[in-house]
A and B are shown apart, each in its own frame.
Chain A
Amino acid sequence: MTPETGAPTRCIGRTGYTLEVHELVKCFNGKCVVDHFSFSARPGQILSLLGPNGAGKSTTVKILYGALRPDGGRIHYGSKDFATDRRQLKLCIGVCSQNDTLDYDLTVRGNLTVYGSYYHRKRREADARAENLLSRFHLRDYVSAKPRILSGGLKRRLQIARALINEPDILFLDEPTTGLDPHARRELWNLLDELKSEGITILLTTHYMEEAEVLSDTVIILDQGRVMDRGEPAGLIARHFAPWALQMKESAAVAEWISAKGLTSLRAYGQVTVFGEEEGIDSLTTEFPKESIFRRPSNLEDVFIKLTGRSL
C-alpha cells in the first residue's frame, strides 16, 4: 500500500495528455456495449460523448473512473496506467454520475466534507474547500439543509461541487444537464467553461446535440458502443454538410429539384433537409413558395442522422 496520508494533490497533472483510452471493450451477456473505443483528452479540454440512450456512454465513464471492470483495453491517466495505479489515480478524479447519488442522510455541507474524507483529505482542508465550493456554487443558503429540499438544478450543482472537493485533474460528468430547465442548464454551461479555464479536463456525456456543440472541444458521436465519428464540432459538421440547412416536407417535386441541383440532402421522419451554401439553397424558397421552409445552420443532429439513420 502506498503511504497516502495527505494525498498528493496532483497525481495526473495538467500537462500532456490527461487521459488516453485504448481499445476499450465491455460486453454484457455477449453484447458489447463498448466496442473497441479509443480516444484521448488534454488538460482544459471538454470532451463530449454524444449519443442516444443505450449508446454506452455511462458504461464507458464507469469503467474510466473504476466502478466497472472492462473486458479489454488500456487506460492511462497522465503517464500512469489505471490498471496498476488505480488507487492513487482515483484520488485525482472527480465524478458526477448520471444518477442522483447525493447522500440524503447528510446536510448539504456534510455532503461535501464527508466526501473529502473519501479522498483522504484532512478534515480542516476538506472544510475549507467545502466552504469555498459552497460559495462558488451559490449553495450558501442551504448549508445546513438536507439535499432533499433542493431543486433539480441545485441538486446537480451540489453533486458537481462535491465532485470537485478533491480538486481533481479530470472531471467526469454523466448527463449533468438531463432533466434541468433551460435556465439551470445554461448556468451549468457557464460553470463548465470556468472549470475548463482552470485546466481541468472534463469528460461530458450528453444526448443534447446543442450542448455538445456549444461546450465541447471534441465531440465523439457514439451509437451502440461504436464511434460513428469524432472531431471538433464545427469541423465535424463541415466535414459532412454545407453550412446551411433548409428543412421541409418531403415530396417528389422537391426530391427532383434537389437531385437536379446536385445538393446533399437527408430524409427522415417525413421531412427532407437540404444542405448547401447560402445562395445555392435559397433558390429553393423561390422555387417552392407555398411550402413552409425552415432555415437553420447545419448541426450535429444532422450528422447523427446521416450516420445512423435515426434522430438523437
Chain B
Amino acid sequence: MILRELLDWRTRAVLRRNIRVYFLNWKSAFVPPLLEPVVMFLAFGLGLGAYVGGLRYGDGQISYLHYIAPGVLTYTLFTTAFMECLYGSFVRMFYQKTFEGILGTGVERVNIIWGEIVWGAFRATLYALCVALVLLVFNLLGVTNLKLASLWVLIPAGGIFTMAFSSFALLFTATVPTIDHMNYPVFLIGIPLSLISNTYFPIDGFHPFITLAAQANPLYHMSRIFRHFMLGGRPESWMLGSLLVLIAGNVLMIGLAHRLMDARLEKES
C-alpha cells in the first residue's frame, strides 16, 4: 500500500517541487558539495594523512587518503540526506507551512512523506556525484589511484539505500517540538553514528561492543562496500550480508518514518 504510493504522480509532484526549488538556487546548490570534499581531502587526507601514514587494509597497506576517499563519499550520502530531512523538512513543515498548503490539494500525507524521503536521498546522490568529480580530478592529477568506474553503479545503488538515512532524520522531524531541539539528535545520535562507521577511521580496533553495534549501522556496510570496490576489489560473499542490512535498514526506517510523520503531519495541517 505505502510502497505503491512511491510511484504515484502525487509523490512525483512533491519531489519535483523540491528539485525545482533546488535548481532555482543552483549556485548555492552545487558549490558546497564541490568544495566540501576538497576541504575534507586537503585537511584529513593530505594534512592528517601526513601524520597517519599508511593504514593496514586487507593484506596490504594503503595511504590514509585512499582510505578516506570512499568514506567521504558515503559520509556525504549520509549527512546530506540526514541534514536535509532534519532541517529542510522541518522548515517546510513547521515554519513555511509548505505541507499544510500541499495537503489542501490532490496530494496526500503519504505522498509528502515519500517525496521528502526520496528527495533527501536524491539530493545526497547529487552531492555524491559532485564528490566523485573531485575524486576524478585527484585521480587525473595523480594524487590518488582509485577505481572510479565502479561508482557508476555504487552511487545510484547507494542513493537507494540512502533513503534509510533520510527516513531516519524524519523520525526526529516528526517528534521534535522546535528546530532548536534538533541539536540533540544531530549531536547525540547522527554524528556519532556516522563516525562509528568506517568512514573516517577504521573501527576494527575498538571495543568489541562497538564493532558489533556497527554491524547494524547501514553506513558501516555502505562504506565497506564502496571502499572494497574503489580499491579494486571484486564481489565477495560477505557483501550479501551487508546488502541484507542495507535492505533491512531501508524497510525499517522508511516504515517508521511514514508512521511518525503521518501523525505529525495531521497535527501540523
Give CA–CA (A94, B104) in the complex, Å.
Answer: 7
Inter-subunit contact A87/B108 (CB<8 Å):
yes
User: Given that A1-B8, A67-B269, A68-B266 are known contacts, is A114 also in contact with B104, CB under 8 Å in the complex?
Assistant: no
Q: Chain A residues with Cβ under 8 A from B153's Cβ?
A: none
- Which among B14-22, B28-36, B158-166, B202-210 touches the partner chain? B14-22
A119 close to chain B: CB less than 8 A:
yes
Interface residues of A in 100-130 (CB under 8 A from B): 100-106, 110, 114-115, 117-120
B208 CB, nearest partner CB in chain A, Å? 47
Inter-subunit contact A97/B100 (CB<8 Å):
yes
A91 close to chain B: CB less than 8 A:
yes
Give CA–CA (A105, B23) in the complex, Å.
Answer: 11
Give CA–CA (A4, B9) in the complex, Å.
Answer: 9
Inter-subunit contact B269/A105 (CB<8 Å):
no
B46 close to chain A: CB less than 8 A:
no
Q: Chain B residues with Cβ under 8 A from A163's Cβ?
A: 104
Contact of B104 among A87, A97, A100 (CB under 8 A): A97
Inter-subunit contact A62/B107 (CB<8 Å):
no
Give CA–CA (A67, B17) in the complex, Å.
Answer: 20
Q: Chain B residues with Cβ under 8 A from A65's Cβ?
A: 104
B96 close to chain A: CB less than 8 A:
yes
Inter-subunit contact A90/B20 (CB<8 Å):
no
A285 CB, nearest partner CB in chain B, Å? 51
Inter-subunit contact A117/B97 (CB<8 Å):
no
Inter-subunit contact B17/A117 (CB<8 Å):
yes
Inter-subunit contact A95/B20 (CB<8 Å):
no
User: Given that A117-B13, A118-B13 are known contacts, is A99 also in contact with B97, CB under 8 Å in the complex?
Assistant: yes
A156 CB, nearest partner CB in chain B, Å? 13
Give CA–CA (A97, B97) in the complex, Å.
Answer: 10
User: Given that A114-B20, A117-B13, A120-B13 are known contacts, is A67 also in contact with B100, CB under 8 Å in the complex?
Assistant: yes
Q: Chain B residues with Cβ under 8 A from A96's Cβ?
A: 104
Inter-subunit contact B21/A115 (CB<8 Å):
no
Contact of A68 among B8, B102, B269 (CB under 8 A): B269
Inter-subunit contact B106/A7 (CB<8 Å):
yes
Q: Which of A62, A95, A106, A120 has the most CB atoms of chain B within a 10 A radius of its CB? A: A120
Contact of A101 among B16, B21, B100, B108 (CB under 8 A): B100
User: Given that A1-B8, A67-B103 are known contacts, is A106 also in contact with B97, CB under 8 Å in the complex?
Assistant: no
User: Given that A68-B266, A163-B104 are known contacts, is A118 also in contact with B97, CB under 8 Å in the complex?
Assistant: no
User: Given that A1-B4, A99-B97 are known contacts, is A69 also in contact with B266, CB under 8 Å in the complex?
Assistant: yes
Inter-subunit contact B107/A118 (CB<8 Å):
yes
Q: Which chain A residue lies CB-closest to B21?
A: A105
A129 CB, nearest partner CB in chain B, Å? 14
Q: Chain B residues with Cβ under 8 A from A69's Cβ?
A: 266
Inter-subunit contact B101/A103 (CB<8 Å):
yes
User: Given that A1-B8, A97-B101, A115-B105 are known contacts, is A62 also in contact with B269, CB under 8 Å in the complex?
Assistant: yes
Q: Chain A residues with Cβ under 8 A from B105's Cβ?
A: 90, 95, 115, 118-119, 166
| Residues of B in contact with A (beta carbons under 8 Å apart) | 4, 8-10, 13-14, 16-17, 20-21, 24, 96-98, 100-108, 266, 269
Query: Beyond the given A93-B104, A101-B104, A118-B14, could you list 8 further A-B residue pairs with CB under 8 A, ordered by the A residue number?
Result: A1-B4, A7-B106, A65-B104, A66-B103, A97-B100, A99-B100, A100-B97, A163-B104
| Residues of A in contact with B (beta carbons under 8 Å apart) | 1, 4, 7, 62, 65-69, 87, 90-91, 93-97, 99-106, 110, 114-115, 117-120, 163, 166, 172
